[in-house]
Structure formats: structure tokens, C-alpha cells
Amino acid sequence: MIIYGKNAIIETMEADKAVYKLMVAMNLKNDTRNPVINLAKKKGVKIEFVNRNVLDKLSSNGSHQGFVAETEDFQYSSVDEILQLAQQKGEQPFVVILDGVEDPHNLGSIIRVCECAGVHGVIIPKHRACQVNETVAKTSAGALSHIKIAKVTNLNQVIDELKNQGMWIYAVELGGTDFYKQNLTGSLGLIIGSEGYGISQLTKKRCDGVLTLPMFGKVNSLNASVACGVAVFEALRQRRKF
């Protein structure tokens, strides 16, 4: 997989993920204090200085900041591994489930938010949804290296299994009860729907409830990653007993 940008590459190397080659813009060759180059040298990563247009072609939008790396393909986790992580930390499981999020920028932002909030893992469907790619890695700003992501074939089946294990599953969408009045301190799964269609009816029927973020402006919807951020940090507030 190709990743680009300072933060994404630094976090990948610091997490001891396999980095096969670091390509650096030629104008940075004599930058002896550059943290990306110095960390690559420390980790024994092969460094190749190239013309900037080479990096422009390798990155999807040219926002590589002078660095592109070839790394191992992203390794997905299992749902069981996410639950085991919570157990190892002595915490009630906290997961975010994405129902058809298609925009890689949204997925990357959601991953970043979830990692910052201490979510144990993100669950995404295998079909009709964005998968982890270079844009997701860049947008996550390195968070991708520090959070577990499970890719599942049947999202509804996984939800049923989590509920059978005692997890409370809530859809975050319009038309429900006030999000801030719900107890979010136990074993918890929050579902965020797709950008255009929200949460499917079949998935919503499996939920223990629908929770709505109160809004007071003329626009009555939030971007998926913004809604996820508000929701997980309210859950964090309750779970940390601030």
C-alpha cells in the first residue's frame, strides 16, 4: 500500500509496521533535522530521493508534503480481536459500526476520531462501502496504525452476535430520542450511516434504539464523520465520568 504525508508515515514507522521504501522530495535531501528522514534511518528503511512530480503521481491529490512510502497492505482485525482488546484493558467494549460509509475522507476522519476517543475498534462492511486505502490512511493522520478495524461480510449478523454478548447497539440518526439523555456507559456499539442513505431499515430494526443529536440551526444533518465525532466524545465523557 502507498501512504503519504508526514504524520501517516511517522505513525506507521513508530507502530513498527513494515515500510519497504520511503521516497522523499529531492529538495529535502540535505534536511538533516527532518523527523521523517531521521526516523526512517533509525528504523533501517530504504530512502530514495526523487523529483517531486514522482510523488505527485503516486499520491491521490498531491498533498504528500514531500514524502511517500511503500508499506505492507493494511491488516484488518476480527471482531473478536476488538472485544479482546477491551477485555485486556479492563474496559467495557466500545465499538463504532459503519453502515455503508463510501467517502474515504469520511472513513479516515472517523478512524481518527475513534482512535482519539479510545474506541476499541471500528467495524465496516465488506461490500458497498469504502475500504482502507491510501486516502483513508492520509486522512486518518496516522490513527490507522493504532486502531483495530474489522471488515465483515454480514453486518447485521455481527450486530446480532454483539447483542447476544450483552452489547447495547444504537443507531445515530434523525427521528430518535435525545442522544444526551441516553446512558452510554456500558458495553456499547454506535452505528453511523452512509452519507446519502443513512442506516438501512434492516440494520435499524436490530438496534436497541435510535439516538439523535439535537440541532438548532436551519440545516438538520451533519457530515458522517462530524456526527461520529460528537457521538463518540459524548460517550467518552460519560464513560470517563467527567
CATH no. for residue 103? 3.40.1280.10
| Order of strands across the sheet that contains 188-193 | 148-152, 121-125, 94-99, 188-193, 168-178, 209-212
Q: How many domains does the chain have?
A: 2
Q: State whether 56 and 86 are in the same domain.
A: no
The span from the CA of 163 to the CA of 102, in Å, is 25
Same-domain pairing of 85 and 64: no
Give dist(CA 237, CA 216) in Å, integer: 22
Three cell numbers, residue 74: 493494511
Q: What is the pLDDT of residues 120-162, one digit of tens each?
A: 999 999 998 999 998 899 899 889 999 999 999 999 999 999 9
Among residues 71, 104, 132, the one where a domain terminates is: 71
Evaluate if residue 242 carries a pLDDT over 60. no
- Res 77: pLDDT: 97
pLDDT tens digits for range 161-200: 999 999 999 999 999 999 999 999 999 999 999 988 899 9
Can you give the pLDDT at residue 195?
83
Q: What is the dihedral of CA 3, 9, 13, 15, to 10 degrees?
A: -90
Query: What number of other Cβ atoms are within 10 A of residue 196's Cβ?
Result: 9
Report the distance separating Cα 53 and Cα 85, nearest Å.
42
What is the domain extent for residue 110? 79-240
Residues 83 and 200 in one domain: yes
Which of the listed residues 71, 104, 130 is the one where a domain comes to its end?
71
Domain match, 231 and 168 both: yes
Asked if 46 and 156 sit in the same domain, the reply is no
| Residue the block writes with cell 436490530 | 206
Q: What is the mean pLDDT of residues 214-227?
A: 87
Based on the fold, state whether residues 31 and 117 are members of the same structural domain.
no
Residues 13-67: tens digit of each pLDDT: 998 889 999 999 999 988 888 999 999 999 999 999 999 999 988 887 668 999 9
Output the pLDDT for position 119: 98
105 pLDDT band, cuts 50/70/90, is very high
CATH number for 25: 3.30.1330.30
